[in-house]
Amino acid sequence: MLRRIAVCLAVCAIAWLAGFLWFVYSAEVPRASEAAADGIVVLTGGADRVAAGLLLLRQGRGHALLISGVGKGADLARLARAAGVDAAPLASKITLGRVATTTTGNAQETASWAARENLHSLLVVTASYHMMRAMTELGRSVPGVRLIPAPVVPPALRAGGLSTVRLLASEYSKFLASRIGLTRLAHDS
Mean pLDDT of 34-60: 91
Per-residue pLDDT, averaged over 137-147, amounts to 95
CA–CA gap between residue 140 and residue 104 (Å, rounded) = 9
**Residues 93 and 63 sit within 8 Å (Cβ to Cβ):** yes
Give residue limits of the domains in the chain. 28-184
Whether residue 36 contacts residue 60, with contact meaning beta carbons closer than 8 Å, is answered with yes
Cα(10)–Cα(24) distance, integer angstroms: 21
Q: Does domain 28-184 have CATH number 1.10.10?
A: no
Listed in order, strand segments (DSSP E) in the chain are 39-43, 64-68, 94-97, 121-125, 146-149
189 three-class SS:
coil
Q: What is the pLDDT of residues 66-106, one digit of tens each?
A: 999 998 888 898 888 888 888 889 999 999 999 999 999 99
Cα(69)–Cα(110) distance, rounded to whole angstroms? 10
Half-sphere exposure of residue 4, counting CA atoms within 13 Å on the CB side? 1
